[in-house]
Amino acid sequence: MTATSATSAASATTITPTAARVVDAVKVYGTGDTGVRALDGVSVDFPVGRFTAIMGPSGSGKSTLMHCAAGLDTLTSGTAHIGDTELSSLDDRRLTLLRRDRVGFVFQAFNLVPTLTVAENITLPLDLAGSKGGKGGKGDSGDKEWIDALIDVVGLRDRLHHRPSELSGGQQQRVAVARAFAGRPDVVFADEPTGNLDSRSGEEVLGLLGRAVRQTARTVVMVTHDPVAAAHADEVVFLADGRLVDRMESPTADKVLDRMKAFEVPS
Ligand SMILES: Nc1ncnc2c1ncn2[C@@H]1O[C@H](COP(=O)(O)OP(=O)(O)OP(=O)(O)O)[C@@H](O)[C@H]1O
Ligand SMILES: [Mg+2]
């Protein structure tokens, strides 16, 4: 692991390292006449320490891109990389380890374990990793400090011993965000993380993702339909019909909305 820490990224005068990227990504579901070309030659990189939003109409391939970039699904052709690792070069076991150790996930449905407390849910990835021999180079005390800092970032210190059912939706999603970052992953992928939240809780979770990127120098890739959500990102990439059609730096909700309108097909 050389230039993948955000500190070195910030001080580097050369190219920013990428946390994740896909090159010429094609994904076809099914075969023949019924085949769907969900990704049609997408190349995109997600730089270290950046918050990127993926937008586009329903069915444009956003979730497919995220799943293939994160190693949850495989490409039909092209390559997907986490850091310097090309995912198709890994066998199933190595891919599972990579997902566990280097990638975090936040989904629309919070996916917390109902019988575990907030604290136990947050440390679950580390506990699972520990029971399988731990991860080289990341000591227990370092983990403890990191988790402690995360709990403050997500503002859950007074809820640590509650169960998910005793929390609001927004609080549950904050737990899911803390869990996604617990293993200090290279990149956190979030698919519509605010899709089940009211606008206020959604704002909290988005603010939190932004702070996690800026304060802890992590990388976040978020799929969203919502221009207000996308405005929290450093950059928006736009998909249409399985292709990358635009990128926007320093997005605002209004600018994103204008760009989205261009996709609308009059019916
Ligand atoms: N498992 C699958 N089998 C067959 N087709 C699929 C599968 N998953 C997705 N597709 C198709 O691939 C295309 C892209 O789907 P994807 O879920 O990536 O879109 P999306 O941009 O995430 O849409 P949404 O905004 O509605 O979530 C769609 O036409 C979809 O029907
Ligand atoms: Mg989707």
Task: Place 267 in a pLDDT band, splitting at 50, 70 and 90.
Answer: low
Question: What is the best residue among 36, 37, 189 to mutate for testing ligand 1's pocket, by most ligand atoms within 8 Å of CB?
Answer: 36
Mean pLDDT of the chain: 88
Among the atoms of ligand 1, which is closest to the Cα of residue 225?
25
Q: What is the whole-number distance in angstroms between the Cα of residue 45 and the centre of ligand 1?
A: 21
- Predicted confidence (pLDDT) per residue in 222-253, tens digit: 999 999 999 999 999 999 999 999 999 999 99
Ligand nearest to the CA of 243: 1
User: What is the total residue count of the chain?
Assistant: 267
> Does 71 have pLDDT greater than 50?
yes
Task: Place 86 in a pLDDT band, splitting at 50, 70 and 90.
Answer: very high
* Cβ atoms within 10 Å, residue 156: 20
Q: By C-alpha distance, which of 165, 159, 192 is closest to 178? A: 159
Q: What is the whole-number distance in angstroms between the Cα of residue 190 and the centre of ligand 2?
A: 11
With b meaning 16 or more CB within 10 Å and e meaning fewer, what string describes 74-99? ebeebbbbbbebebeebeeeebeebb
What pLDDT is stored for residue 266 in this prediction?
A: 54
- Predicted confidence (pLDDT) per residue in 91-106, tens digit: 999 999 999 999 999 9
* Cβ atoms within 10 Å, residue 152: 10
**Which residue, judged by its Cα, is nearest atom 24 of ligand 1?**
58
Ligand nearest to the CA of 65: 1
**Which residue, judged by its Cα, is nearest atom 1 of ligand 1?**
29
Task: Place 90 in a pLDDT band, splitting at 50, 70 and 90.
Answer: very high
Q: What is the whole-number distance in angstroms between the Cα of residue 62 and the centre of ligand 2?
A: 6
What pLDDT is stored for residue 21 in this prediction?
A: 96
Residues that place a CB less than 5 A from ion ligand 2: 63
Q: What is the whole-number distance in angstroms between the Cα of residue 197 and the centre of ligand 1?
A: 22
What pLDDT is stored for residue 26 in this prediction?
A: 97
The pLDDT of 33-50, averaged and rounded, is: 95
Q: What is the whole-number distance in angstroms between the Cα of residue 8 and the centre of ligand 2?
A: 33
The pLDDT of 72-97, averaged and rounded, is: 95
> Which residues have C-beta atoms less than 6 Å from ligand 1?
29-30, 36, 38, 56, 58-64
